[in-house]
Amino acid sequence: MPSTRVSALILFLSLSQAGCGADGGRGGRTGDGTVGAAGTPDGPLLVAADVGFAPHAMARPDGSAEGFNIDLAEEIARRLGRPGYEIVDQEWSGIFAGLAAGRFEFIIAPTTMTYERSQEVLFVEGYLDTDYTFLIDDDAPDIESLEDIRGQAIAVNNGSVYDVWATENADFYDLEVQRYGKNADAVQAVLTGRAFANLAGESVARWAAMQSPLVRTTYTIKSGSKFSAAFRNDDVEYRNRVEAVLECMKSDGTMARLHEKWLGGPPAAGSAATTVVEGYGEPGMAGYDPTPHRPLCS
Amino acid sequence: MQLTRSQPPILEIEGLRKSFGDTEVLRGIDLEVDREELVFIIGPSGSGKSTLLRCCNRLEDATSGSIKFDGTDISAPSVDINELRQQMGMVFQSFNLYPHLTALGNVTLALHRAVGQTKDESEERGRAALGRVGLSEKADAYPNELSGGQQQRVAIARALALEPRILLMDEPTSALDPELVGSVLKVIRELEESGMTMLIVSHEMQFAREAADRVIFLDQGEVLESGAPDQIFSSPEHERTRAFLKRILAQP
Amino acid sequence: MIDSFFNLDVMARVLPAIISGMWVTLGLSILVITSGTVFGLALATLRALQYRVVNWFIVFFVDAFRAIPALVILMVVFFALPYVDVQLSGLVTAWLCLSLVLAAFCEEIFWTSILSVDKGQWEAARSTGFSFLQSLRYVVLPQAMRLALPPLTNRAIAIGKSTALASVVAVPEILNQASSAQAQTANASPLTLAAIAYLAIFLPLVVMSRWVESRFAWRH
């Protein structure tokens, strides 16, 4: 039987680990040196991502997170004048529930904008184009057209827009749709031969192909979709502030820099990563406010 | 009481030894039971009386020695022990009735499931057996609704239903309240008169005196004395027998 | 709050998906409970025969499957086994793993209840010519069952609910469907609907188990 001292030590250690999952925060101090709790205006930025979604949010061996969207969080925090940032590692299918429950300020995970979703949450203007790309086993034949997926098993991240696409087209193309909690598991399914292909965002699929010689990307469905950050519906003012920050990042080349770092090259001209959209939010989505405003970059 | 000596004994025990681990409980028992005999086994506790009985139907396996039932060595590999056991009915000190079945159910279970009789057949025989022990009207009662004496009689009926050639009884009345003992002894008496062979371990000395054909005194795993009840009770040969009888008979 | 968790519009939209999930949950639960209980009883019976070597394996299996979380077993079988060329679908994996887990718990429940039946019952049965298996079947098990039934029904219901774990291996049961709907609609109401769905399936089972318990209880 462990002594009471050891038990107390174990209890202390486990409590100190409790709280919001993987922490990426490099806490810093600004101004007068006092730091508040994460999620409060004086404290680190508290945002959520599904860590394990490369290259947007990935876990480092030491438990912290890195990736395109992690860097985004860091940059936003800095520009908002917050002392660092903290990432809540939240599995994708529960991320909107978490937002509604106020467990974090907004979702920094790359969230595809759909009109259906925009009715429940407030989006900023899109910051990254995202087409749908199929990832297949390296030995498999290319997908030249969508007919090539007929009768096959497609692995997707449960609840993602790729899940929606696959589900909506399941009858037409006679698909078996496998829904996994993490996209990494969906990629595993392709690696082990359970599924013929993984449908994911272009950036994600390309990264997976870069990391493993056993899979490669093939056919891409041009979706016209964009990634955005999601806020609570009543959080209008805060959404506007963060959007202003993002717009600056687009115009001063920060976004392009991150694109180059994580997505294998500079963004195409006229893409969401380089184009500032008038007003707040995204045209065509609920919550769009067309009132023009001046960019506030400092 | 007619003792049929023209046929071989129904039970022949020769040189029976039984050890549990390092403890030797039976140290070379020689015993014969003739057909229609009522043999009583008496002795102090720990003398191996129960063990002896349980070796007869192989609830315990002997360490050495032989037991022959109707000429067949019960330990022979060709023997079907389940069939053999049906011919040797056993009655336990704690009755061991099946609590989830009625009295009739208890009696007919083996008839129906082990012997393979039809439901009707087994019920008919079951009721007959219950009648023999005077409990026909209790056929649908559950064990916990019966008195101790009634339960033991049902247990006897259960053994009788299989039409055994010998009844082995291990202290059949020891767990009963005194006023209920009589009912069970009455049944045993009736069975004796109908010619059933019985080997009974018991403390009921008065009954032994009246009903037994032979009394065996077992002490420390050995047969110390064997003979007619009058002889054993009135003029025992051994000191230990005398001491035991004195102790037992002195009790109220 | 109401809008996020009790949005009737969203619930109405996702109801078909949840219902399809309910069929999977119900079917999987019934399959798992059946095979798990039967296998557990078989193991307990085998253990009663008292072959030393066999018992060692039984105890090892039972202890392992009671100690390792069902989710871990599911994930190992589903994600790791393909590397040794054993590839099972999500549904088969879930059925297999959950059945084995239930079997392990059931074996212990049956075993302890068999042990608690008085030895005299075995002796009485054997002395009337019943074989070991017949004694077990006609005399000992009926008595053991009355003791075993309450913990058995509890375990069965618990494992039925744990079919939610099958969501992780892509089985389209209730939770899997609800998760998908949640993310698509960006609303947590499907989760509320899922909770109601689980209630709809398992509350009747809980009530039924109480009835079964009382029906087989001892008459005193």
Interface of A with C in 238-297 (CB under 8 A): none
Torsion, Cα A221 A222 A224 A225, to 10 degrees, reads: 30
- CA A241 from chain center: how many Å? 20
Pairing of β B197-201 and β B214-219: unpaired
Structural contact between residues A197 and A175, judged by C-beta atoms closer than 8 angstroms: no
Which chains lie within 8 Å of chain B at 3 or more CB pairs, if any? C
What pLDDT does residue B238 have?
Answer: 87
Total structural domains in chain A? 2
Cβ-contact A80, A20 below 8 angstroms: no
Do A290 and A277 form a contact (C-beta atoms < 8 A)?
A: no
Residues A165 and A38 in one domain: no
Name the band, by pLDDT with cuts 50, 70 and 90, for residue A124.
Answer: very high
Instruction: Name every chain C residue with its beta carbon within 8 A of the beta carbon of A95.
Output: 183
Q: Mean pLDDT score of chain A, rounded to an integer?
A: 86
pLDDT in tens, chain C (220 residues): 788 889 999 999 999 999 999 999 999 999 999 999 999 999 999 999 989 999 999 999 999 999 999 999 999 999 888 888 888 889 999 999 999 999 999 999 999 999 999 999 999 999 999 999 999 999 999 999 888 988 999 999 999 999 999 998 989 999 999 988 988 888 889 999 999 999 999 999 899 888 887 877 654 3
CB atoms within 10 A of CB A14: 9
- Separation of CA A79 from chain center: 20
A289: helix, strand or coil: strand
Judge contact between B195 and B186, C-beta under 8 A. Answer: no
Mutation target vs A (from C3, C4, C174; most A CBs, 10 A cutoff): C4
Express each pLDDT in A147-190 by its tens digit: 999 999 999 999 889 999 999 999 999 999 999 988 889 999 99
> Are B16 and B67 spatial neighbours (Cβ–Cβ below 8 Å)?
yes
State the smallest CA–CA distance between residue C143 and chain B in angstroms: 7
CB A292 within 8 A of CB A284: no
Q: Residues A214, A231: one domain?
A: no
DSSP string, A234-284: T-HHHHHHHHHHHHHHHHTTHHHHHHHHHHSSPPPTTSTTT-PPSSBS-TT
The confidence score (pLDDT) of residue C138 equals 95
Nearest Cα to Cα of residue A89 among A37, A48, A55, A59: A48
- Please name the member of C123, C129, C146 whose beta carbon is closest to the beta carbon of B114: C129
B11-26+36-99+165-250 maps to CATH 1.10.3720.10: no
Share of chain B above pLDDT 70, in %: 97
> A37 is written with which tokens?
């709790």
Across the range A114-118, mean pLDDT stands at 93
Which site among C3, C11, C187 would you substitute to test the A interface, given the most A Cβ atoms closer than 10 Å to its Cβ? C187
Domain C2-215 has CATH 1.10.3720.10: yes
Round to whole Å and give the CA distance between B5 and C135.
Answer: 37
Q: Are residues A54 and A162 in the same domain?
A: no
Q: In chain A, what residues touch C184 (CB-CB under 8 Å)?
A: 114, 116-117, 159, 161, 163-164
A116 and C CB contact within 8 Å:
yes
Cβ contacts of A170 on chain C, cutoff 8 Å:
none
Assess contact for A85 and A24: CB atoms under 8 A.
yes
Residue B73 pLDDT exceeds 50: yes
The alpha-helical segments, DSSP class H, found in chain A are: 4-17, 68-80, 95-100, 115-118, 161-168, 170-173, 183-191, 202-211, 236-251, 254-263
The 10s digit of each residue's pLDDT in B215-239 is 999 999 999 999 999 888 888 888 8
DSSP C83-94: GGT----HHHHH
| Chain-chain contact of B86 with C123 (C-beta, under 8 angstroms) | no
The CATH number of whichever domain residue A241 belongs to comes to 3.40.190.10
Q: Does A103 reside within a domain? A: yes
**A101 CB within 8 Å of a chain C CB:** yes
Give the Å distances, CA to CA, from A197 to A48, A105, A167, A214, B30.
Answer: 28, 35, 14, 12, 83
Give dist(CA C209, CA C212) in Å, integer. Answer: 5
| Residue C191 touches partner A, C-beta closer than 8 Å | yes
In B97-204, where does DSSP find H-type helix?
103-110, 119-132, 148-160, 178-193
Token look-up 């008595």 returns: C143
Q: Tell me, what's the pLDDT at B5?
A: 58
Q: Which pLDDT score is estimated for A293?
A: 85
State whether A249 and A120 are in the same domain: yes
- Can you give the residue range of the structural domain that contains A42? 20-129+226-263
- Picking from C128, C134, C146, C218 by the largest number of B CB atoms within 10 A of its own CB, the best residue to mutate is C128
Q: What is the pLDDT of residue A21?
A: 38
A162 and A188 both lie in a single domain: yes
CA dist B80 and A16 (Å) reads 69
Q: Same structural domain for residues A232 and A123?
A: yes
In tens, the pLDDT along A37-86 reads: 888 888 999 999 999 888 999 999 888 999 999 999 999 999 999 999 99
Quote the pTM value. Answer: 0.79
- A115 and A159 in a single domain? The answer is no
What is the DSSP code string of B201-247?
E---HHHHHHH-SEEEEEETTEEEEEE-HHHHHHS-SSHHHHHHHHH
The single residue listed with the structure tokens 């006229």 is: A270
**In sequence order, what DSSP letters do the residues of B98-115 get, joined into one string?**
-TTS-HHHHHHHHIIIII
Residues on chain C touching A121 (C-beta within 8 angstroms) = 186
- Answer yes or no: is pLDDT of A16 > 60: no
Q: What is the pLDDT of residue C177?
A: 93
Gyration radius (Cα) of chain C, Å: 21
Q: Name the pairing type of β-strands A215-232 and B166-170.
A: unpaired
Judged by CB atoms closer than 8 Å, whether chains meet at C184 and A97 is answered as no
Residue A286 lies in a domain: no
Tell me whether A164 touches chain C (CB under 8 Å): yes
Task: Write out chain A residues lying below 8 Å of C5, CB-based.
Answer: 97, 100
In chain C, where are the structural domains located? 2-215
| Rounded distance between C-alpha atoms, residue A249 and residue C199, angstroms | 49
Kindly tell me if the per-residue pLDDT of A11 is higher than 60: no
C-alpha–C-alpha distance, residues A83 and B252, integer Å: 96
What was the pLDDT predicted at A30? Answer: 43
| ipTM for this prediction | 0.90
Q: Do A181 and A93 lie in a common domain?
A: no
| A145 within some domain | yes
Is any Cβ of chain A less than 8 angstroms from the Cβ of C90?
yes
What's the burial of C209, exposed, middle or buried (CB within 10 Å: 0-12/13-18/19+)? middle
Contact list in C for residue B94 (CB cut-off 8 A) is: 120
Q: Does A159 touch chain C (CB under 8 A)?
A: yes
Q: Name the A residues in 201-240 with CB < 8 Å from any C CB.
A: 230
The answer to whether the Cβ–Cβ distance between C128 and B144 falls below 8 Å is no
Quote the pLDDT of residue A9: 44
Contact partners, residue A214, CB within 8 Å, separation at least 6:
A137, A138, A191
* A218, A134 Cβ separation under 8 angstroms: yes
Q: Rounded mean pLDDT of B20-25?
A: 91
Assess whether A125 and A137 both reside in one domain.
no
Instruction: Using the structure block, give the residue that is written with the tokens 């793993």.
Output: C97
Residue A288 lies in a domain: no
Residues from chain B that touch C124, judged by Cβ atoms under 8 A, are: 90, 92, 96-98, 155, 158
Contacts of A260 (CB under 8 A, 6+ apart): A266
pLDDT grade, residue B147 (50/70/90)? very high
- The answer to whether the bond into B44 is cis (omega within 30° of 0) is no
Query: Are A233 and A91 found together in one domain?
Result: yes
> What would the mean pLDDT of B44-52 be, rounded to a whole number?
89
Kind of pairing between the strands at B88-91 and B166-170: parallel
CB contact set of A221 (below 8 Å; sequence gap of 6+): A131, A132, A133, A146, A165
Residue C179 φ then ψ, to 5°: -60, -45
Q: What is the largest CA-CA distance in chain A?
A: 68
- Do residues A243 and A150 share a domain? no
- Round to whole Å and give the CA distance between C19 and C16: 5
Domain layout of chain B by residue ranges: 11-26+36-99+165-250
Give the model's pLDDT for residue A160.
87
**How confident is the prediction for chain B on average, in pLDDT?**
91
